[in-house]
Amino acid sequence: MTDPIADYLTRLRNAIKAKHRIVEMPASNLKKELTKVLHEKGYIQNYKFDNNTVQGTIKIALKYNPLSKQSAIVKLERISKPGLRKYTGAEELPRVLNGLGIAILSTSKGVITDKEARQLNIGGEVLCYVY
């Protein structure tokens, strides 16, 4: 697998389209940090890290609106790819949907959102957009 982050986002996207409650995928430290950010910002309901295998797995409980059955995640978009990395400085951090969505960045302070990066005045690699 050349792009584990794209695989992570695709598994989430496919589970949302199929209206699954739980999605399971192989774990890595970066995927764990992405999962924590999505949970903190309210895009997923809950998560659990299982270390029963060498690599471990992540189980993610997806969040849906009880009335309309719409997912909390409308779109997941991969920005920085292995073939073309996208880095941004603190001055030109992206605003997703005019502040309604989040951009997830990999920085020297760890995996954080664009709003947190603005407060810390740091840039980094733009991993994905979520809204």
| Predicted local confidence at residue 52, as pLDDT | 87
Structure tokens at 100: 């309604």
- Would you give per-residue pLDDT tens digits along the chain (131 residues)? 799 999 999 999 999 999 999 999 999 999 999 999 999 999 999 999 999 888 999 999 999 999 999 999 999 999 999 999 999 999 999 999 999 999 999 999 999 999 999 999 999 999 999 99
| Predicted local confidence at residue 102, as pLDDT | 97
Q: Per the domain annotation, does 124 fall within a domain?
A: yes
Last residue of a domain, one of 21, 36, 62: 62
| Predicted local confidence at residue 1, as pLDDT | 78
Do 55 and 12 reside in the same domain of the chain? yes
Going along the chain, which residue ranges are E strands? 22-26, 44-50, 57-62, 76-78, 87-88, 102-107, 110-113, 124-130
Do 89 and 57 reside in the same domain of the chain? no
| Predicted local confidence at residue 11, as pLDDT | 97
Q: Per the domain annotation, does 17 fall within a domain?
A: yes
Do 117 and 90 reside in the same domain of the chain? yes
Residue 97: DSSP 8-state? G
| Predicted local confidence at residue 53, as pLDDT | 85
Do 93 and 123 reside in the same domain of the chain? yes
37 touches 8 (CB < 8 A) = no
User: Which amino acid appears at position 81 of this protein?
Assistant: K
Maximal C-alpha separation, the chain: 43
| Predicted local confidence at residue 128, as pLDDT | 98
